[in-house]
């Protein structure tokens, strides 16, 4: 790719500023997404952060992933939060005393010494591990990095593909909106409406001390998040009996497939053929198209597994999640062409009126340019789209998205998310994956 112009500002080069964010968010063994709002280690944040950290320090990037993997549960799940014991309990909700992982998660093999949540996040980890290895293969081999992480990543994928195939069609389901990572996406409105809200006074949100209420999920959203998580905990985090919420999400599954391709490469590097994994990734891609592709919309949609009287149905909401599968190498050409058309059309405005890629259809009834995953543009999804465009030969569009990414990251102070029309900063400043993915795209 063409060398991106590196925007500079009064505070020094963009690279130095991004590195400074990662430095101040580093705890010694991992990186927090943001000091104030998210003071612990988050699963998919750490994967994106490792992808950027490899440009600064491949050994720190390895440590980032290994710290997360050290909190893996016996059943293979990688928890969505690993709690830092030195952070006060009231700094983030839900805190360790809500999840009670080492007690409630005992049957599922939760670790005894570290406190975690009991839900998961998108499986970006094997992809991150492979990219981290590629940044310095000599160091990685000398430290036995891939040999150490491979069995853990394989167990993680096994958990998702077996215990989480709640729809029975071969894809993984998320059982909580926090698992998919786009917490208050309009995609969850219909399945969440079947969840009885927990009493408002049964918990205290900590996020509103750091973020504007209009930028965050609503109280009613939180009441439902709390109900779902508490019920899962009270089932000992078992996936046999099902709760009220199960969704097959295109981005979550596309990341699993991309990571399965990465695991195939890792297996090959470790002396195996990787063929079985590559074949599985190809097969899963076909299943993804079969179950979630909507040709009329020209994008992937979410499947509400318990919708339509538990026979399942595609949800009509159009979120950026439905464009993320562009990342995959084995999609039919008709699908990749339609995805690019949809991304560049009026709904997502890529290369047109929108900055980066909005999290939700600009023309959708639930669009809200400020409220978190209901419209604002996020940097991790832009990074995934940039990769997808480049993979499928859309070089000019990928270059333009990368330039927009770098400009917006610089001007917003590495914001958590931005207004999809103006690029104005929203949410936390000095956000981990925004800084990390900036470093990656500058490279
Ligand atoms: C709940 C940490 C996380 C991200 C998610 C984002 C947000 C948490 C929250 O922050 O979720 O997990 O408290 O809102 O939605 O994608 O991983 O950055």
Q: What is the pLDDT of residue 276?
A: 97
Q: What is the pLDDT of residue 11?
A: 47
Residue 188 CB–ligand 1 contact under 6 Å: no
- The answer for residues whose C-beta is within 8 angstroms of residue 111's C-beta and 6 or more apart is 70, 71, 72, 73, 101, 102
Ligand 1 geometric centre to CA of 352 (Å):
28
Name the pLDDT band for 1 (thresholds 50, 70, 90).
very low
Q: Greatest CA span in the chain, whole angstroms?
A: 58
Name the pLDDT band for 3 (thresholds 50, 70, 90).
very low
Share of the chain above pLDDT 90, in %: 95
The torsion angle over the Cα atoms of residues 396, 402, 406 and 411, rounded to 10 degrees, is: 70
Quick check: 341 pLDDT over 70? yes
Q: What is the mean pLDDT of the chain?
A: 96
- The answer for residues whose C-beta is within 8 angstroms of residue 43's C-beta and 6 or more apart is 68, 78, 79, 80, 81, 82, 120, 121, 125
Pairing between β-strand 12-13 and β-strand 41-42 as defined by DSSP bridges: unpaired
Ligand 1 geometric centre to CA of 391 (Å):
28
Residue 38 CB–ligand 1 contact under 6 Å: yes
Quick check: 242 pLDDT over 90? no
Residue 45 CB–ligand 1 contact under 6 Å: yes
Name the pLDDT band for 211 (thresholds 50, 70, 90).
confident
Residue 46: its H or E element: helix 43-53
| Burial category of 3 from C-beta neighbours within 10 Å (exposed 0-12, middle 13-18, buried 19 and up) | exposed
Q: What is the pLDDT of residue 7?
A: 53
What is the arithmetic mean of pLDDT over 98-110? 98
Quick check: 4 pLDDT over 80? no
Q: What is the pLDDT of residue 12?
A: 67
> How many residues in the chain?
443
Q: What is the pLDDT of residue 10?
A: 46
How many CA atoms, within 13 angstroms, populate the side-chain half-sphere of residue 6? 14
Give the Cα separation of 93 and 46 in Å (integer).
Answer: 19
Quick check: 364 pLDDT over 50? yes
- Minimum CA distance residue for ligand 1 atom 4: 181
Do 173 and 305 meet the contact criterion of CB atoms below 8 Å apart? yes
Helix locations, 215-326, DSSP H: 219-234, 250-269, 275-292, 307-310
- Give residue-wise pLDDT tens across range 34-60: 999 999 999 999 999 999 999 999 999
Catalytic-role residue among 64, 66, 183, 394: 183
Ligand 1 geometric centre to CA of 178 (Å):
7
Q: What is the pLDDT of residue 8?
A: 52
Do 149 and 66 meet the contact criterion of CB atoms below 8 Å apart? yes
Name the pLDDT band for 241 (thresholds 50, 70, 90).
confident
Give the Cα separation of 61 and 64 in Å (integer).
Answer: 5
Paired tokens of 117: 């949540």
- For residue 92, the ligand 1 atom closest to its alpha carbon is 13
Residue 183 is among the residues annotated as catalytic for this protein: yes
Quick check: 280 pLDDT over 60? yes
Give the Cα separation of 46 and 49 in Å (integer).
Answer: 5
3-state secondary structure at position 305: coil
Give the Cα separation of 188 and 146 in Å (integer).
Answer: 36
Do 215 and 427 meet the contact criterion of CB atoms below 8 Å apart? yes
Give the Cα separation of 176 and 417 in Å (integer).
Answer: 22
Do 85 and 125 meet the contact criterion of CB atoms below 8 Å apart? no
Which mutation among 41, 87, 183, 217 tests ligand 1's pocket best, with the greatest number of atoms within 8 A of CB?
A: 183
Residue 416 is among the residues annotated as catalytic for this protein: yes
Quick check: 6 pLDDT over 80? no
Q: Nearest CA to 324 among 246, 408, 280, 258?
A: 258
| Burial category of 201 from C-beta neighbours within 10 Å (exposed 0-12, middle 13-18, buried 19 and up) | exposed
Share of the chain above pLDDT 70, in %: 97
Residue 207 CB–ligand 1 contact under 6 Å: yes
Q: Nearest CA to 300 among 312, 283, 284, 317?
A: 317
Quick check: 9 pLDDT over 70? no
- Give residue-wise pLDDT tens across range 135-189: 999 999 999 999 999 999 999 999 999 999 999 999 999 999 999 999 999 999 9
pTM over 0.95: yes
Quick check: 403 pLDDT over 50? yes
Ligand 1 geometric centre to CA of 295 (Å):
31
């Amino acid at each position: 790719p063409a060398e991106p112009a590196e925007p500079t500002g009064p505070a020094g080069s963009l690279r130095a500023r991004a590195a400074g964010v990662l430095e101040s968010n580093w705890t010694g063994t991992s990186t927090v997404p943001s000091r104030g709002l998210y003071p612990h280690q988050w699963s998919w944040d750490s994967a994106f952060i490792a992808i950027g950290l490899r440009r600064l320090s491949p050994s720190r990037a390895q440590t980032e992933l290994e710290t997360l993997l050290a909190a893996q549960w016996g059943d293979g799940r990688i928890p969505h939060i690993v709690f830092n014991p030195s952070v006060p309990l009231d700094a983030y909700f839900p805190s360790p005393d809500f999840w009670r992982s080492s007690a409630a998660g005992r049957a599922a093999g939760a670790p005894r010494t570290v406190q975690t949540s009991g839900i998961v996040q998108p499986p970006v980890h094997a992809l991150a591990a492979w990219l981290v290895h590629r940044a310095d293969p000599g160091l990685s081999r000398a430290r036995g990095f891939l040999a150490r992480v491979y069995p853990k990543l394989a167990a993680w994928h096994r958990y998702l593909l077996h215990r989480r195939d709640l729809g029975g069609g071969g894809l993984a389901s998320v059982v909580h909106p926090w698992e998919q990572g786009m917490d208050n996406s309009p995609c969850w409105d219909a399945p969440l409406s079947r969840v009885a809200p927990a009493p408002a006074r049964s918990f205290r949100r900590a996020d509103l001390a750091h973020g504007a209420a209009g930028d965050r999920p609503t109280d009613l959203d939180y009441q439902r998040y709390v109900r779902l998580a508490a019920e899962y905990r009270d089932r000992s985090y078992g996936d046999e009996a099902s709760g009220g919420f199960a969704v097959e999400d295109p981005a979550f599954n596309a990341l699993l497939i991309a990571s399965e391709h990465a695991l195939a490469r890792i297996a090959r590097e470790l002396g195996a053929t990787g063929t079985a994994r590559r074949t599985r990734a190809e097969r899963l891609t076909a299943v993804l198209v079969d179950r979630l592709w909507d040709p009329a919309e020209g994008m992937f949609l979410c499947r509400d597994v318990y919708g339509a009287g538990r026979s399942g149905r595609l949800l009509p909401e159009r979120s950026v999640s439905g464009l993320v599968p562009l990342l995959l190498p084995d999609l039919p050409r008709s699908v990749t062409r339609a995805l690019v058309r949809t991304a560049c059309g009026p709904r997502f405005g890529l290369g047109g009126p929108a900055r980066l890629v909005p999290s939700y259809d600009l023309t959708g009834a639930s669009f809200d340019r400020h409220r978190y995953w209901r419209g604002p543009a996020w940097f991790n999804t832009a990074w995934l789209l940039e990769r997808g465009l480049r993979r499928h030969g859309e070089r000019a569009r990928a270059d333009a998205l990368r330039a927009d990414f770098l400009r917006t990251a610089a001007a917003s102070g590495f914001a958590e998310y931005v207004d999809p029309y103006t690029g104005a900063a929203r949410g936390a400043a000095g956000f981990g994956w925004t800084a990390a993915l900036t470093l990656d795209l500058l490279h």
